Amino acid sequence: MKPSLTETGGGSQRRPHCLRCRREMISQGPRRWRCKGCGGSCLRTKARRRYAPTPADRPHCVSCRRPMKADGAGRVGCRRCRVWLTTRPKKLHRFDVTQRPDCPDCGHTMAVGSDGFTCCRCRTERRRVRSSADRAAALLAQLARSLPAHLTPEEREDAAQSIMLDILAGKLAPVVPGPIVLRRYAAGARGMSTDRYRFISLSAPMHDGREFGETLAA
């Protein structure tokens, strides 16, 4: 059975001495002392010191500038001004990365972003379209070909430009949208082209001698 050991303190005597041969022990790792003479060993014991912060270390109240006092576990406060602070770190919300969804536009597995899941492939493709004029022109031509055939050339160009602007703004994925989205943009382009007030200037004369802007103000 290994002998019990004691520690002596003060200066160079901080290392424990073996009770059998009274020799100074040596360190054997972060958790154990060992005696070279008889081979005895013991575990290191460390006394915990209770931390008592001084008034200079404690946070000060923003109203009266007095040091705050402990008010429960993980909380300090100023009872005079009724101001409290928490000393515990805030737990961040973590998303479940084991079940990441697929992008509804390109089908690629989405990555975890700062505010949810994001598609890295769509983001990279949108950056390429913004930086390359040839890639943007090819995508614009593909959008124009995918629109319904009953549109006039002017309506087709307006609808394709509207889709392209929403793609660059991040509202749509940098791919050709589905038929439902294409029909919505086509209907918007036809509504703009059939509006008889679209290309009328505010200073255009009306049949009663007034300008068009005056009729709107009335």
- Enumerate residues 6+ apart whose C-beta is below 8 A from 210: none
pLDDT tens by residue, 55-95: 666 788 888 888 888 877 778 888 888 888 777 766 655 55
Q: What's 109's DSSP letter?
A: B
Which of helix, strand or coil describes residue 69?
A: strand
Percent helix, percent strand, percent coil in the chain, to nearest 5 = 35, 15, 50
- Predicted confidence (pLDDT) at residue 9 exceeds the cutoff of 60: no
**Model-wide pTM > 0.75:** no
Alpha-carbon span 100 to 20, nearest angstrom: 64
What is the number of other CB atoms lying within 10 angstroms of the CB of residue 123?
Answer: 15
How far is residue 185 from each of residues 53, 169, 191, 201, measured CA to CA in Å? 66, 16, 10, 25
Tell me what pLDDT residue 71 has: 78
Confidence of residue 193 (pLDDT cuts 50, 70, 90): low
pLDDT tens by residue, 145-183: 998 888 888 888 888 888 988 888 888 888 888 888 888
